[in-house]
Structure 1
Amino acid sequence: MLTQLYIENIAVIEKARIEFGAGFNVLTGETGAGKSIVIDSINAVLGERTSRELIRTGADHALVSAVFELKDGSAVQKLEESGYSVEEDGTLILQREISSDGKSSCRINARPATVSALKGIGSMLINIHGQHESYGLLSPELHIAYLDSMGLPEALLKRYREAFHSMQNMKASLDSSKMDQSQKARQIDLLTYQINELESANLHPGEQEDLNRQKNLYRNSERVAQAISQAKTALSGDEETAGAVSAVSDAADALNTAENYLPELHGLAERLQAISYDLEDCSDEMRNFSSLLEYDPSELDEIEARLDLIYRLSLKYGGSVDEMLEYLEKCRQELNAIQLSDENAEKFRKEYQKYRLQAESLATELSEWRAGAADLFTQKVKEELRFLNMPNVLFEIRREQVPMNETGCDRIEFYLSTNAGEPAKPIAKVASGGELSRIMLAIKTVLAGRDDIGTLIFDEVDTGVSGSAAQKVGLKLREVSGNRQVICVTHLAQIAALADTHFLIRKQVRNQRTFTQVDRLDREGRRQELARIMGGEQITPLMLQNAEEMLRMAQNDSSGS
């Protein structure tokens, strides 16, 4: 269960620490006091989507921290699967910090974590029933999820989905393999022509780049030859100049002579001699490069013709030789597949039939399970609704067989009649807002024992409810809190009076800034708050007396239970 929630710089809450108790906790306060901010903060620390707009004006970050007490269960297992663990005393701390730049950092028991890890674990700790969730009952496509929550075997659903997806894949392969003979012949002719055209071109990777380099060299051969000739003259000389090779060699000879009188010149003389040898090598290599410039003009014509062929092919099969070779391989594979299509079609047909029979058999098992679960679910929901002041309610689950889909072959829809003698109709057509709230509470109560989530949060589940119905809603919430923690945001005194722990959320203005604080109320504080809820700001002695009576009766009900 959630034992402590710390909020810092969330909207109008500068700092707040809420120490929740076991059993039934309620949060009350005037509209706009900040009750929804507490729920938003819990959503944030559970890894739900949030926004930097949530950060209090003037602050550069916001922080939410939640402390849980855990026993062995799915939450602990999920935690260990994610690489985390609870403390020795069974506590778990989730923390999320949101920065003004939109980034957030998360921690699980002081260790860094991702938002997805936080969300995965958070979903096993708290179930939040928002004030708008009841309207999900107006969407029939969501009803099957409520029925399946009665304990649909996950292994059965997993096996069905595997068979269903395999059936879909085989159906797609079978459809693609089906082609009439004339279409097949046309496709074979086209692929054969394309393959022959590409194969006859005898393309090679990198060929286009090599040809362009060769063409560029031949077209500029005179310029290159002139440059090489100039370099050779500079090195070897001509009729008028000796050249660099001769000049460096003469310098080396001169130093060799001087070396007899200045031995220190020996190293320099050797270096000059080595340079003259290198220059001679360079001059010889230039002769080799000159031979590369000798070509038959017809060679250039052949290169340009080859490049033209590659260009024309590229317009049809790809921008580069590599892309054309890839296209060629694709054509070969496609042609092979078509030629083997009859054989493949028969294989796909057998596989499709196998998976279809498997999926149909498993879908039938799912339907049989839902038929049994529907009877039990209907009975229990009607019992809960009668307790919640809907004595003449007629609640039905209608099942319709539909083509197989992700959930099987069932369409589930809830039908309702709230007046004796009236036939049941789809919930969307007959249920009011208050009735939706009670129906959802009844469903949540029925499903409450189907998981080991330790905390249920109801955000204004009393919408559209008043009078004795509100009293029954409060009693049902307290009943649910008998085996798990319940936190409820409410506007009704009848519900608040039944709480084990009561928190008041209120706003204050100091130095032209708004601050929200959360206080845990004692007996007198609860009496004052119940009187305010019933009568507004002007609290009379009679209102206080009525509030005291409500608390006393709630305490007696609790003692009696």
Structure 2
Amino acid sequence: MIDRIFIKNSPTFKSLELDLKMGFNVISGASGSGKSVFLESILAIFGLKEPNADLVEADITIKDIDKELESLGILSEDKDLLTISIKRLNGMRYFINNQAVSKKKVNELTSKFAKYISAKNASELESEHALNVLDSLIATKTSDYEMLLENYKQDYKDYKLVLKELEVLREEEQNIANLKEFANFEIQKIEAINPKVGEYEELLSLKKKLSFKDKILSSAQPVLHTLDGLDSVVKFCENVGIETSAFLESATELRVEIERAIDEYENLELDTEKTLTRLEALGDLKRRYGSIEEALSHLNIQKQNLDKYNNISFNIESMQKKLSTLDKALKDKASKISALRKASLPSLSDLLTSYAKSVHLDKIELRLEKASLNTQGEDMLYIFLNKTDKQNLSSGEYNRLRLCMLCASTSIDKSKADKGEHVLVLDEIDANLSGVESQGVAALLKTLSTKYQIFAISHQPHMPLLSDSHYKVLKNKDNSEIKLLDFEGKVDEIARMISGDTPSKEALEFARKSLGK
């Protein structure tokens, strides 16, 4: 749940800090007071709307959220608490626990516990979600159903992998002659050169030495002559009492090294043309593959590819058999899943219809139709209201039907057992509804509030009458504020919603009596 929200410099709030409550939270106020602006700030925290303030910050409590944060590489001091901040810093920047993140990452994290009922992104009535709800219902009655679903999903994943491999093999088979020719060409080229690791560098070093051979040898004799003349130096040192043993030892070692170098250069022979040709061939391999090591690695890969191409018919046949086995296993499991779904369809239909009655909707009909194999089996689940497809429903009917599906999902899904663990945001869900329809929506939201922390804007009195917390947005000259209403405040606001800015005595009495129930 959202424990606290802070908004600074939004279009209607200069500075707003609000401690929020669990359960059913209703927001009301005169038109233009800033209700939607406040709701947009909440949605911005979940990455569902663009931020409308210089700073929006919220403290949120979700059980064991530290595990989700850890998977995203975000530190957490409290295992159940996270703080999301959005700041205007040369553009909007997002933070989780003071660590910079992307808006996408915020949305990925919060989508696990926050839901927004709006005209866009309505997934509750799509086949995928409806099948998930139906599967959850079946799992409460059939102990091994979840295992059946998991096994099917794993088989489907394996099936798609094998199918992809088979498609690659078939593409290669169509072009097998060219592939074999190219593999043979590269193998022969590399093997013909027969490169050795380090050979290129050795030849370069040898070539460099050879280019200096004449220069080195021509300068060698003067150096040796200089060393021969050291006798006069030694004799002088002895006459003046200077120790020369170390000097003589070093001079002797130096002469040995110089003579060794001269000998090496005198015996240095190289077939220049052959060496240049070899360097060119090795250099070509380096340019093509990056290094001699990479060229040798590529040689092994092409040998493996050639072996695969030579055995491609066998590989395709083997892959086809594997695919056929997986296809049979998939269809067997999908058939069992479909049978269980068909048997449980009336139960889900009855559950949805029970919620539909409370919001004055006609009977809900569910149709399970066969589809091609997919991640959920071989079924598509379509929802009709009094035989009318969801695409042809009015916006009011559509949103109420979504609420019915949400209620059904929540009543089945035991993972939402803790009150306030999940957040549900609704913007004027009762707009354009009659009084009895609005009353039914309010009752459904009250039911949902046992599992969700709900935030809803309303212009009708039915939601405030059932709310756990009623907030009023008050617009001043150049700023708005939000006030949590006490009992008398609720009475006055509900009466205003019924009879206008000057509440009638009857409206006040009705509000007081209804709240007192």
Q: Same fold (TM over 0.5)?
A: yes
Deviations 1:276-314 (A, max 9, x none): 33542443243134225444xxx1111233344456777
Give the conservation status (yes or no) of the 8 Å contact 1:140–1:413: yes
Please state how far the C-alpha of 1:215 moved relative to its aligned partner: 4.0
Please state how far the C-alpha of 1:140 moved relative to its aligned partner: 5.4
2: CA distance, partners of 1:300 / 1:415:
87
In structure 2, give the amino acid aligned to 1:286: A
Give the conservation status (yes or no) of the 8 Å contact 1:170–1:348: yes
Please state how far the C-alpha of 1:488 moved relative to its aligned partner: 2.6
Give the conservation status (yes or no) of the 8 Å contact 2:84–2:94: yes
- In structure 2, the partner of 1:413 is 382
In structure 2, give the amino acid aligned to 1:490: S
Which of 415, 418, 425 aligns to 2:388? It is: 425
User: Any idea what SS the aligned residue of 2:115 has?
Assistant: strand
User: Any idea what SS the aligned residue of 1:497 has?
Assistant: helix
- In structure 2, the partner of 1:462 is 430
Paired residues for 1:323-362 under 5 Å: 323-362=294-333
- In structure 1, the partner of 2:115 is 128
- In structure 2, the partner of 1:443 is 405
Please state how far the C-alpha of 1:493 moved relative to its aligned partner: 2.4
Does the C-alpha gap of structure 1 residues 33 and 322 become closer, same or farther in structure 2, counting only changes over 3 Å? farther
Does 1:472 pair with 2:466? no
Give the conservation status (yes or no) of the 8 Å contact 2:200–2:283: no
User: Any idea what SS the aligned residue of 2:436 has?
Assistant: helix
Please state how far the C-alpha of 1:364 moved relative to its aligned partner: 1.6
Per the normalisation by structure 2, the TM-score is 0.80
Does 1:498 pair with 2:466? yes
1: CA distance, partners of 2:269 / 2:409:
91
- In structure 1, the partner of 2:142 is none
Please state how far the C-alpha of 1:162 moved relative to its aligned partner: 0.7
- In structure 2, the partner of 1:96 is 84
- In structure 1, the partner of 2:355 is 384
In structure 2, give the amino acid aligned to 1:436: Y
1: CA distance, partners of 2:70 / 2:194:
56
482-491 or 202-211: which moved more? 482-491
Please state how far the C-alpha of 1:394 moved relative to its aligned partner: 3.9
Deviations 1:527-550 (A, max 9, x none): 3323444566xx2242x6414413
Please state how far the C-alpha of 1:16 moved relative to its aligned partner: 0.9
Please state how far the C-alpha of 1:97 moved relative to its aligned partner: 3.8
- In structure 2, the partner of 1:106 is 96
Does the C-alpha gap of structure 1 residues 226 and 215 become closer, same or farther in structure 2, counting only changes over 3 Å? closer
Please state how far the C-alpha of 1:341 moved relative to its aligned partner: 3.0
Give the conservation status (yes or no) of the 8 Å contact 1:174–1:348: yes
Paired residues for 1:392-411 under 5 Å: 393-411=362-380
Which of 54, 62, 65 aligns to 2:59? It is: 65
Number of residue equivalences: 499
2: CA distance, partners of 1:145 / 1:33:
40
In structure 1, give the amino acid aligned to 2:481: Q
In structure 1, give the amino acid aligned to 2:194: N
The CA RMSD measured in Å over matched residues stands at: 4.1
In structure 2, give the amino acid aligned to 1:408: G
Does the C-alpha gap of structure 1 residues 96 and 399 become closer, same or farther in structure 2, counting only changes over 3 Å? same
Which of 180, 195, 212 aligns to 2:187? It is: 195
- In structure 1, the partner of 2:223 is 235
- In structure 1, the partner of 2:239 is 257
User: Any idea what SS the aligned residue of 1:66 has?
Assistant: strand
Paired residues for 1:1-400 under 5 Å: 2=1, 4-7=3-6, 9=8, 11=10, 12=13, 14-21=15-22, 23-31=23-31, 33-36=33-36, 38-39=38-39, 42=42, 48=47, 56=54, 63-67=57-61, 92-98=80-86, 100=89, 104-107=94-97, 126-132=113-119, 135-136=122-123, 143-150=130-137, 153-178=145-170, 184=176, 187-188=179-180, 191-192=183-184, 194-218=186-210, 220-221=211-212, 224-227=213-216, 229-230=218-219, 232=220, 235-237=223-225, 243=226, 245=227, 250-259=232-241, 266=243, 269=244, 272-291=247-266, 293-295=268-270, 299-310=271-282, 318=289, 320-390=291-361, 393-400=362-369
In structure 1, give the amino acid aligned to 2:199: E
In structure 2, give the amino acid aligned to 1:459: L
Does the C-alpha gap of structure 1 residues 459 and 249 become closer, same or farther in structure 2, counting only changes over 3 Å? farther
Please state how far the C-alpha of 1:362 moved relative to its aligned partner: 1.7
Does 1:529 pair with 2:497? no
Percent identity reads: 19
Alignment gaps of 5+ in structure 1 = 238-242, 260-264, 418-423, 557-561
Does the C-alpha gap of structure 1 residues 177 and 105 become closer, same or farther in structure 2, counting only changes over 3 Å? closer
Please state how far the C-alpha of 1:439 moved relative to its aligned partner: 0.8
2: CA distance, partners of 1:254 / 1:535:
126
Give the conservation status (yes or no) of the 8 Å contact 1:106–1:112: yes
Please state how far the C-alpha of 1:521 moved relative to its aligned partner: 0.4
Please state how far the C-alpha of 1:164 moved relative to its aligned partner: 0.8
1: CA distance, partners of 2:479 / 2:138:
45
Does the C-alpha gap of structure 1 residues 123 and 344 become closer, same or farther in structure 2, counting only changes over 3 Å? same
Give the conservation status (yes or no) of the 8 Å contact 1:144–1:413: no
